Amino acid sequence: MVVPIQRVAIVGGTHGGELTGVFLAKKFQQFPLKIQRNHVETITLLANEKAITMGTRYIDTDLNRAFNPQDLANPQLMNYEQSIAKNIARRIQQEKIDFIIDLHSTTANMGLTIILHNSHPYLLHLAAYLTQINPNVKVLQHPPDYNGSCLINLVELGITIEVGAIANGLLDAQLFQETEYLIHAILDYIAADKQGKPPIASENLTFYRIQKKVDYPRNKQGEIQAMIHPQLQFKDYKPLYPGNPMFITFDGKEIFYVGDSTAYPVFINEAAYYEKGIAMYLTQKEKYCF
């Protein structure tokens, strides 16, 4: 399907310690011709430069939770990241960006994951193409009622690339190269589609739709009382069956999954999610046929 995408933004450093995106954005700034395609202009953006310099996820608040339209319109919200969010939103609008590629990394074993924030047919076809050229790519989909406050929500069309497992503040050459290849594949698809010659993609797409978030077991004071079970650690996208262990307490008691059906957990034990009360997300494996 032909979508008239004119301008693309590649964003790195939405979280300052996620260096894959930071250094890819810097590379593309140094070699801008690498990301230009016929009839499609691509810009790069380092989102949270102060956090990048400090090597931290954020300074005052999570930038990738600061793009709710109501918050952007609220002049009272002016801490460091809230101010940046307003500036980024203004720039995306002024520069008439049609498509955003937001680059992230995770301490969870997510491999190469692309996250879709809506079910636009263009994004589904693009995702099918990306999984076809690289079977290691996983597709994560937010639920239909998702009303997020992430940077990617500034445009209708966009993809979050999430890669891991990798510790914050580190670079991994293989993940760096695989992410770069994925970016080039996205840009190639956009350019080809704009010329009315989209690459042939698979007739179906397997993806994982987020169903719910699961917190760590906690006491009345909110203190964590259990860890991710060793049998579940690093098992992102693997089936979790009712009765399988999920957590283990500090004194060795196992806590089991009591759902009614098989789930596929993702973002298992993500370091940055401890403060958000998220031990993992449970997803449902689905297939979309074109």
Beta bridge partners of 224: 218
The predicted structure's pLDDT at residue 23: 98
Residue 136 sits in the same domain as residue 30: yes
Inside any domain, residue 271: yes
53 in the same domain as 193 = yes
Per-residue model confidence (pLDDT) at position 251: 97
156: which DSSP letter?
Answer: S
For residues 245 and 283, membership in a common domain is answered with yes
- Domain for residue 1, yes or no? no
Low-confidence ranges of the chain (pLDDT < 70): 1, 145
* Count of domains for the chain: 2
Of 181, 202, 223, the last residue of a domain is 202
**Residue 238 belongs to domain with CATH number:** 2.20.25.160
Note whether 140 and 219 are same-domain residues: no
pLDDT tens string 132-161: 999 999 999 987 767 789 999 999 999 999
Do 36 and 169 have their domain in common? yes
Looking at the fold, whether 106 and 232 belong to one and the same domain comes out as no
**What CATH number is given to the structural domain containing 38?**
3.40.630.10
Tell me the three-class secondary structure of 18-68, residue by residue: CHHHHHHHHHHHHCHHHHCECCEEEEEEECCHHHHHHCCCCCCCCHHHCCC
Residue 264 lies in domain? 207-289
C-beta separation of 286 from 206 below 8 A? yes
**pTM (2 d.p.):** 0.96
Residue 2 lies in a domain: no
User: What is the structure's pLDDT at 244?
Assistant: 98
Give the end-to-end CA distance of the chain in Å, rounded to a whole number.
12
The predicted pLDDT at position 1 comes to 64
Angle at 114 between CA 82 and CA 63, to 5 degrees: 10
Retrieve residue 82's tokens: 């809230």
Radius of gyration of the chain from its Cα atoms, rounded to whole angstroms: 19
165 with 38, same domain: the answer is: yes
7, amino acid identity = R
Helix (H, G, I), strand (E, B) or coil at 10: strand
- Which segments of the chain are extended strands (E)? 7-12, 41-46, 99-105, 111-116, 137-141, 157-164, 204-214, 226-228, 245-249, 254-256, 264-266, 280-289
Output phi, psi for 20, to 5 deg. -55, -50
Nearest Cα neighbor of 111 from 87, 90, 138 is 138
Report which DSSP code applies to 216. P
Buried b or exposed e, range 219-239, using 16+ CB within 10 angstroms: eeeeebebbbbeebeebbbee
Burial 242-255 (b: 16+ CB within 10 A, else e): eebebbbeeeeeee
The SS3 of residue 164 is strand
All residues at 6 or more sequence positions from 69 whose CB lies less than 8 Å from its CB, including other chains: none
